Amino acid sequence: MGTPQSLSAAILMATLNGEKFLAEQLDSLAAQTFTDWHLFVSDDGSSDGTLAILKRYQELWGPDKITIRNGPQKGFAQNFLSLACDKTIKSDFYAFCDQDDVWMPEKLKVAIEHIHSSSASQQVYAYGGRTIYVDEKLKPLGHSPLFVFPRTFRNALIQNVAGGNTIVFNHAAKNLLEKCGVVSAVAHDWWLYQLVTATGGCFYYDSKPFVFYRQHADSAIGSNQSLKSLIVRLFSLINGRYSDWINQNLKCLSANTDLFTAESIETLCTFKKMRKAKISDRIRLLKVCGLYRQTLRGTISLHFFTVLNRL
């Protein structure tokens, strides 16, 4: 299936001191087989050569291909959301883009064709998927986890399934983000997953990767599969950091329930009630709420930390 020529995409990139790998990412955008795109870059106060690189590519590509602006300097999530919620940025499709990855040439085309061909393409719709982990020199290190369970609000409340570097969404999803504004959610990609599912939209997960996800010391968020990352996640649960994330997201969700389905509102209320309940009621309410993670190990951990009251 070919991509209709009339469709366009806005690539939303947040940068901060990304000079080391930025040019490779920009070159991969230039190599996309879907060519009707415009890159919007929000720089959060880089002190290295990031802006010089961006301006060099702006001269090379022309102003019709790349727009550079100053970011809010409130963290990566709000930097991305400042772009996604900007009503002056209009396109048929939108793609989050990290500064240090490399996209496969068909990355945009596959996502846009998938959304465009869906019977639900006019509804709130987002596409995400797996990545290939690579080191600084793009040597493959493995794949991100394969998630097979449904993408629902009952999963999105406690887990993100797709990195922002894989996500493409339609204009209906962007309108939804605009209505909520630049919130203080933990991460832009997790927030979008929560919003799409809470409002009855569709979040598609592609098992085939189209992004080389670079792992390096300065990554804002990296692979969660190494032993080190698993230990960090365990301590995040024990010391309350994960619970703080949940609190942060719940605050944002609770302010936008007028957009949610009745089922999502009920799930949200039960979840909040469960977190404050005594142990016997927490276990019962967890079952009523129907929360789950994308792996058996993760769901077992969910029950364990529910008992410890660390959610």
Task: Give tens-digit pLDDT for 174-213.
Answer: 999 999 999 999 999 999 999 999 999 999 999 999 999 9
Read off the pLDDT of residues 95-143 as tens digits, 9 standing for 90 and up: 999 999 999 999 999 999 999 999 999 999 999 999 999 999 999 999 9
Give the domain range for residue 261. 227-307
248 is a domain residue: yes
What would the pLDDT profile of 206-262 be if each residue is shown by its tens digit? Answer: 999 999 999 976 655 554 555 555 566 566 666 778 899 999 999 999 999 999 999
Residue 220 is predicted with a pLDDT of: 54
Q: What percent of the chain has pLDDT over 70?
A: 91
- Do 292 and 177 share a structural domain? no
pTM (two decimals): 0.93
204 sits in which H/E element: strand 202-206
Q: Which amino acid is at 81?
A: L
158 and 30 in a common domain: yes
Long-range CB contacts (within 8 A, 24+) of 284-290: 289/154, 290/154
**What secondary structure does DSSP assign to 176-196, as a single string?**
HHHHH-S---S-HHHHHHHHH
Claim to verify: residue 193 and residue 114 sit in the same structural domain? yes
Question: Are 193 and 253 part of one and the same domain?
Answer: no
Q: How many CB atoms lie within 10 A of CB 3?
A: 18
Answer with the one of 172, 189, 214 that is the final residue of a domain: 214
Residue 3 in any domain: the answer is no
Q: Total domain count for the chain?
A: 2
Q: Is residue 234 part of a domain?
A: yes
Same domain, 231 and 199: no
Task: Compute φ and ψ for 132, nearest 5 degrees.
Answer: -105, 120
